[in-house]
């Protein structure tokens, strides 16, 4: 496991992650890819509210400037 943030994202590829966005929105899904701006591609994504599934989305691209944190 690396020490830099992008190293941690690289180690989390093809695993389930939780992504918190501005506005307290959360998504859980399988991290398929990312770039240097922390734009994320999730597969099998679900929107969460208070830990409960609100809706299933499938594939989604999340813009990096909205990301507060990514939890592997």
Q: How confident is the model at residue 3 (pLDDT cuts 50, 70, 90)?
A: confident
Locate the DSSP E strands across 9-51. 16-21, 26-34, 40-49
Tens-digit pLDDT profile for residues 9-47: 999 999 999 999 999 999 999 999 999 999 999 999 999
> Residue 5: its pLDDT value, please?
76
Architecture field, domain 5-71: Roll (2.30)
Contact indicator for 29, 56 with CB cutoff of 8 Å: no
């Amino acid at each position: 496991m690396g020490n830099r943030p992008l190293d941690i994202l690289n180690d989390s590829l093809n695993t389930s992650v939780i992504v918190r966005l501005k506005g307290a929105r959360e998504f859980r899904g399988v991290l398929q890819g990312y770039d240097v701006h922390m734009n994320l591609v999730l597969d099998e994504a679900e929107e969460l509210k208070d830990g409960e599934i609100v809706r299933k989305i499938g594939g989604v691209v999340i813009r990096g400037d909205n990301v507060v944190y990514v939890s592997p």
